[in-house]
Structure formats: C-alpha cells, structure tokens
Structure 1
C-alpha cells in the first residue's frame, strides 16, 4: 500500500500538468511545442541519464532507504515548481523532479518481486500500477478544481506535502525484505560485478527482455500523449470548460484504467497457470482493443450523451472509457515477465532500463511530438489539429504488438528446442 501511495503521488505530479497546460501557456505566453517540452522532454532526458545509476543503487543499497531519500527530494522539487517565476525555471524544476523520481519505480518493483511469488505477482504489480491510474481522478478532477480556484502554483505545493510523510514512514518504519526469496530457480550470478554500461549492454543483448521493454516504450509513447493532452482535447474539440474536461478525464480515465489494470493482473495470474503464453497474449489483445477504441474516440463528433447535473458528457467519453480499460492490460503481465527473466541482483537495473525507455518515449517524446504535430497541423485543421496529432502519435502501439508477437514466437521456439532430446 505504501509503495502504491508513493507511486500514485509521483504520478499525480505528472498528471496534474494536464490541467495546468492552458493556464501555464497563458501566463508564460508559450505554444503547444513548449508545453510538450515542459510536460515531457525536460523530465525524460534527466530521467534517462540518471535511471541506470539509480537502478544500480537499488541493486546495491537498502531499497527502503533509497525510496525514503527519493521521496524527500521529490517533495522539495515539486514544491519548487510552484515557486517558478519563469518558464525556464519551471523547466529546471521539472528536471529536479526527474532526479528525485528516477529510483522510485525500479526500487518498488524490485521490492514487490521479493514480497510476492511469481504466481501472485501480476496482481500485486497491477495493484501497484493501478494506484496511479486511480490517482488521476485526483490529479485531473480535483486538480482541475484546485488550479481553477487557487492557481497552478498551489497545486504543485499541495502535491509535495504527502511525500514528506511517505519519506518519514519509509525511513523509520519499513523493513527491507531479503532479495530473491521467491525465485523458483536460481539465476546464475555474475562472476564479478560488471560496470554499469557493461551490465546494461548484457541485459539489452537478451532478446526477450529487449523486445519487451521496446514494446513498453512504444506503448507509452501514445498513452502518455493521450493522458497529457486529453483535457485540452476535450476543451478544444468538445467545447468543455477546463474544470469539466478535467473532471471527466480524471474520473472516466482514472476509474476505467484502474479497474482494467486490476482485472488484467488478476486475469494474467489465472491464465498463466494454464499456459505461459498468456503473459504475452493478454497484452497483445489489450493493445488491439485499446487502439480501436482510441481511434473511434478521437474521431467521434462533438455529440452530447447526457448531463450529469451540470456536467455535460459527450458521447465520445464512452469510447474513452473503453480505451482506458484496455490500454493498461500490458503493464502487469509484462513487468511480471521481466522480473522472472533476470536475477534478483539485477532487477533494479533491469527495471530501471525498462523505465528509462518508457520515460524517454512516453514522457519525453509523446507529449512533445503531439505538441509539434498539433502546431504543424493547425493551418489545415485549426482548433481540431490536436485531434489528429493524438491519433498519429498513438499509431506506434502497432509496433508494440509486432514486438510482443516476436517475443512470443522466440519463447515458443526456445521451449521447443529445450524439449528436443539431445543427440
């Protein structure tokens, strides 16, 4: 629960930028490309540089202590965002947030792998990853209200306060579990500790691992773009106010993604007992279903479904709900498979490399590329340019499907070869 709460607070820090785009744009007088930079690339570049060293720290030091320090630094950096006096200072503050957040995911998933056996791990991981999706309800709906009533600066400062409490709990009350306690078969330990670059190259050379993390990166390229720009899309293409769009995006996307993540984790654990291929088949099905729903959502006209009190609900939100439910089906089974592919002494580095690729492509490239495409398409489509930019940025998920299919074929071929009698 504590790991999920820490991750949720971090994720709200990313999500709340979605309801800050319009007021920050107005205050600093910048375009969509600049907002794509501040919401993505400024964070992702620093995260990519520090991700592997952070993963190495996770493999070498007590993970609970690493998380405690990270939470403290994250709280201070997030509150500094609210004090930024210029666009440049805000970008620098976002980079400091990335510095503090770099060990969080790798340390948390390494701990989960030692807290739960493989046959229960997908659901445990889904509980961890579903917390941020549920937290988008806070980040987008409540966050939109805070930003509209008190300003975007107050939102950043309020976000940093819970992380101070999490840092104290992790430092004083949480014990470190033994590493590798649930490994069913011992992985061969390296004869000597490799350098950071050599260890990363060795992990990258392992074909199933490389294809898994590339598939995750291509998926997050589109999903982060949609998460970051969805509120602005509803404002521009469906005529909603900032508060209405933030509330709809937060409640609908957060609830459906959270339920979808928990369901896929539970389903993955059950189906994997019948056949290991389900850890790859389930994400493939989720990607195809999510892409179909997303294309329909983005292209649907601005028809009104109903009013919930004073809140107008477009018909398109039905497809948005369906997209959100299926878009997270890859997370728990893929992360579980990664923890099974590598030794416990390397899980921090392996998960860090996974997160670096996803962060660079998702947080870094996705929102920025969307902003660039939106600006480029504006002469032809005007205010509707964001609609088509999001559709184009979401297409790489089809590449993720191909990579997962290749991983599945690689796994089946090697299982077959292992089953052949020696001559």
Structure 2
C-alpha cells in the first residue's frame, strides 16, 4: 500500500514552488468560485423567473439541477480528454470566455426556452474547469504539499457562495435577476484574459520518476474503460460519489428541514444553513488538506484514514442533528438558532474531509497523461450521484414516508439518504487493499 499511495513523493526533481504557482492557484480558485456562485444564485432567482415566464417548480428544477448535471456529465469525458491533449491554461481561458457569454445570455434571455438553452451552455463551458484545474494543481505542487493546495481550490466556492448568495439576493431584489446574471459574467472575462497570459506548467513536473508508467494514447471509450479497470481508482471515485450523494441531498433539503422540523422562517433557515454550514465546511476542507500534507509523509495510510475518520464522524453528527428535537439555543441578531445547529456545524466540518486527500490520491494512482480524463470521470460520478440523484431520492423517500410521519417525513428521509456514507467508508477500505496489491 505504501508504494502505491506514495507515488511521486520520493525522488522528486529539484524544482521550487514559487509565487507564480501560488498566484495561478489563486486564479483557478477564483474561477471555480465564480462558476459555483453562478450555479447557486438560481436559488434566489426562482420566484422572479417563475413569475416572469409563468413556469412551475418542475421546470425550474430542471434548469437548476438535472438538465445542468446531464449536460455536464455527457461532456465531462470529452472535456477531460481535451485537458490531457491541449494547453490547460488556454483551455481554461476559452472556458471562461464561453462561460461569460453563456451567463450573459441568461441575463438577456427573452423566453424560458432561451434561458434553459443558455443554462445548458453554461454547463458546456464548465465541463473542463474542474478536471483542468486539478490537473494544473497536480503540476504546481508536489504530492506532499498537494492536498492543502487542492483544499484551497475546493474551499473557495464554499466561502464565496455565502457572500455571493447574500449579495446576489440583494441584487435580485433591487435590480432584478437579469442584472445578477450580467454582473456575474464580467469577472469571468477578466479571469479569461489572465489565464490566456498564464504559462501552463510542465506536465508531470513532480512525477518525472513516478512509479505509475506512462501509457500510449487510447480512444476516449478505451481510455475510460482503462481507468475504470483500475480497482483502486474505481473504488475511490465511487466512494466520493456516495459521499457527494448524501452531502448534496443535505445541502438541497436542509433549509426545508429547518422550516418543517424546527419551525424557522424561510429567511432564517436559509441564512443559518448557508452561513453555518458554509463556514464550517470551508474550514473543515482546509484543515483536512493541511492535515493530510502533514501526516501522509509519515505513513501512506493517512491518505485513506483521514477520509474514513471524516465520513464516520460526519455520519454520527448528522444522525444526531437530524433526530435532535426542536429547541432554541439562543437568538443572535434576531435569528433564532436551534440547538441542533451545533451538530450540523460538526457534520459540515467533517463531511468534506474526503475531498483533498482523495483528489490528491487520484493524481497519484493514474499516469500523468490520463489525469484530465481521470479527474473528469471523478467529477461525472460525483455530479450524477450528487446533483442528479441525491436531492431527488430524498424527495421520493419523504413522499413515501408522508403517510406515517407527516411533516416529519423529511427528517427520516434525510436519515436514510445519509447511510451511503457507510458505503463510502467500505469502498475506501477497498482502495487501501487494492493500492496495497498495486504497490
């Protein structure tokens, strides 16, 4: 296991990590944050868009969830292939330009059909962003410093969405939903220019003597099958997918849970769910990345143990949170804070512990020439299970339990949808076994 999990740590080329690497990481994080706010801001636009175009909740759910996820998933592998074949910073620059134009088109849409098509174009433009960014980060930082760098990248949307949604709600209320889309498109143009000027780091910069051998180019289908045939990689991305299924379901339904089971208003529930969960998850992600970098060089098993500990602690905190009876801990700035929110914060802190270690491990388990495709496949699985299935499955469970539990049916539906975290723990154990055989 040690040999397989420590790919690229020993025998590194004598290359220094300088301010250019940190600057490019910051730029990638800003792009990801802008993309993420563009997804989340629809939450404060639903009613105005419904009123203007005369559509229902189902139509809004499609453009904000399943339709976006489906397009993103279909194009994920081709986009990952482009990441492995083209200069990544130039590809990201083009992605930013297309994203800005598609988001601008959302703000200028004259009909709901045009808005739906524009949202699909946003998904098209975002399809290479995550895989290209993580591929670049793998070449900016050595494996023993990579987890914290990845956590900085993945935590950026968590923090920015809190600010973005608050500002977005104000913009929508005072200037309309179209102005919010237009305002979001402008930073992407600046990011695109900066990425076009940035130098793409040398591929395999830190893995020139890696024990993962280089492989000849394959067709897209064969490339995906070759990656899926790697047992450790397959179990790793499925573990991430199951964790994402649970966390996306909680994220989508948490506000409704606080309203139904704890008697909060929509405004107060949304504020607590966004701020408390967002801050706790952001800090937890950064801490897990830092912790993994500090411990993984002492023993390769920490790259698996940290996500396992995170998932088990998160599951325990989540079950307590969901079953905790209604009761107010205190009132802060006029907002009643339920006692259960302490457990919700604990859950949010630990549930992201898998992200940085597992993404780092993906970059070590696959050849340098396949990193873009590998990260794209990881994103596809997480998107389909998380965005596509998690929230819908929760709704189905809630409806099925309604005759027995009434308004409390959502509470127990969320308990059921939290159980995939146990499956993720089991799969992480299989990763350790398969990686040990590989080593």
Instruction: State the distance in 1 between where 2:413 and 2:46 align.
Output: 16
Query: Which residue is equivalent to 1:75?
Result: 100
Q: 1:20-59 alignment to 2 at 5 Å?
A: 20=45, 28=54, 30-31=56-57, 36-59=61-84
Does 1:285 pair with 2:309?
A: yes
TM-score (norm. length: structure 2): 0.87
Does 1:101 pair with 2:126?
A: yes
Instruction: State the distance in 2 between where 1:12 and 1:76 align.
Output: 16
Does 1:359 pair with 2:383?
A: yes
Query: Which residue is equivalent to 2:157?
Result: 132
**1:399–1:89 CA distance, 2 compared to 1 (3 A):** farther
| TM-superposition CA deviations, 1:19-76 (whole Å, max 9, x none) | 4456666775634x65544332111111111001101111111111111111122222
**1:51–1:295 CA distance, 2 compared to 1 (3 A):** same
| TM-superposition CA deviations, 1:337-375 (whole Å, max 9, x none) | 010111211111111111111111111112233334444
Q: Which moved more, 1:13-22 or 1:3-12?
A: 13-22
Query: Which residue is equivalent to 2:11?
Result: none
Please, what is the CA RMSD of the aligned residues? 2.3
**1:210–1:374 CA distance, 2 compared to 1 (3 A):** same
Residue 257 of structure 2: which of 209, 218, 233 is its match?
233
Does 1:337 pair with 2:361?
A: yes
**Offset at residue 181 of structure 1 (A):** 0.7
Q: Runs of 5+ in structure 1 lacking a partner? A: 416-423
**1:18–1:385 CA distance, 2 compared to 1 (3 A):** farther
Q: Is the 8 A contact 2:215 2:369 kept in 1?
A: no
**Offset at residue 146 of structure 1 (A):** 4.0
Give the ranges of 4+ consecutive aligned residues of structure 1 lying more than 6 Å apart after TM superposition.
none
Residue 270 of structure 1: which of 280, 294, 300 is its match?
294
Instruction: State the distance in 2 between where 1:251 and 1:108 align.
Output: 26
Q: 1:24-423 alignment to 2 at 5 Å?
A: 28=54, 30-31=56-57, 36-84=61-109, 89-171=114-196, 173-183=197-207, 185-186=209-210, 187-191=212-216, 193-415=217-439
**Offset at residue 224 of structure 1 (A):** 1.5
**Offset at residue 183 of structure 1 (A):** 0.4
**1:267–1:183 CA distance, 2 compared to 1 (3 A):** same
Q: Is the 8 A contact 1:11 1:132 kept in 2?
A: yes
Instruction: State the distance in 2 between where 1:19 and 1:317 align.
Output: 23
SS at 2:329 equivalent = strand
| TM-superposition CA deviations, 1:138-181 (whole Å, max 9, x none) | 2444444444555544443332222122112212x311111111
Q: Runs of 5+ in structure 2 lacking a partner? A: 1-25
Count of residue pairs the alignment pairs up:
412
TM-score (norm. length: structure 1): 0.90
Q: Is the 8 A contact 2:255 2:269 kept in 1?
A: yes
Instruction: State the distance in 2 between where 1:391 and 1:146 align.
Output: 36
